[in-house]
Chains A and B, each alone.
Chain A
């Protein structure tokens, strides 16, 4: 790639990325959102997060993996169970339990067997 092409590529990527992030916010003061849209937006965070989580857990590296060797699976289960059990400290519960279970399944068990 020539320096000119690099500059064009980066400026172009910046333009489209920033536009997508900014366009709704830029005009947001001028209209009020319809009630149906506001209702729909409440579902955006859990829906998007789930769509990121589930494939990363069941398809690590882009391949179905339901075997015991897939440490993401027990880690995700532990994080979910712990999160529901300790709703007051859900974030800490999920992170700690998920990481501990992941460590056990990915490092300790392969070493022991």
Chain B
């Protein structure tokens, strides 16, 4: 059962590996040309393991930004991960501290999306954390591999959007969102998040993402509460 959960987690993450690999490749290539040493390029992928902030750090290194600014920017860009750990909290709080430590280290957008779907599934498997671990290690190994390849190939690669490979991530995320859209509050949450994301995408440091998510959550919760109040009023008289 443990092994099955682990490998299913890896398998379900596969489409997202396709989405992540060009970014790993380009990160490796860009980081070298920005002037980072090869060990630093690899170490950043190995111990920071956060794609978008690694990209931004490389951009800041190239622009000659001080270390303090790079670290602060990383913090802001990764704040969204707190939303993820908050969402997984009801599921992960029953695990021991070592498991939480390990799963927190590996918590990325992709693994969150895949694992949240598994935790949400109502079967009572006691090994769902192995599923998340499988997804985590698949993402991790993939990222290290393509960082290394990017480093070796250098800067002779066109950008990911020219390749069109990031579309794999987009359509996978769509398939992951649809199962949630079952009632009006969820529809409201998704539509609000979509609208705010389009109004706020120009905000720096991916703050627009956080803003859109918070707005969507607030809209969904409000609608759910209104629906509950209406129901209560109908019962009372």
Contact = CB atoms under 8 A, between A and B. Distances in A.
Interface in B95-116: 97, 100-101, 103-105, 107, 109, 112-113, 116
What band does the interface of chain B fall in when counting residues whose beta carbon is under 8 Å from A? 35 or more
A47 B15 contact: no
Interface string A60-103: 11100000000110011001100110010011111101110010
B127 interface: no
Contact of A44 (B57, B84, B168): B84
Interface string B40-73: 1001100111100100010001000001101100
Contact of B85 (A21, A43, A52): A21
B116 A39 contact: no
B61 A1 contact: yes
Contacts of A44: 83-84, 86-87, 213, 217
Given A9-B71, A25-B89, A17 B175 contact: no
B167 interface: yes
Contact of B174 (A21, A58, A80): A80
B225 to A, nearest CB: 9
A45 to B, nearest CB: 5
Q: Interface on chain B toward A: helix, strand, loop, or mixed SS? A: helix
Interface in B1-44: 12, 15, 35-37, 40, 43-44
Interface of B: 12, 15, 35-37, 40, 43-44, 47-50, 53, 57, 61, 67-68, 70-71, 74-75, 78-90, 92-94, 97, 100-101, 103-105, 107, 109, 112-113, 116-117, 161, 164, 166-181, 185-186, 189-190, 192-194, 196-198, 201, 208-209, 212-218, 220-221, 224
29 contacts: A5-B67, A6-B37, A13-B48, A13-B57, A15-B71, A18-B105, A20-B75, A20-B78, A20-B79, A25-B100, A26-B101, A29-B94, A40-B218, A41-B86, A41-B87, A41-B89, A43-B220, A45-B176, A48-B109, A48-B193, A48-B213, A50-B189, A54-B197, A59-B198, A87-B179, A91-B12, A91-B176, A94-B175, A98-B170
The 8 closest A-B pairs by CB, nearest first: A98-B171, A94-B175, A47-B216, A51-B212, A12-B71, A22-B104, A28-B93, A44-B87
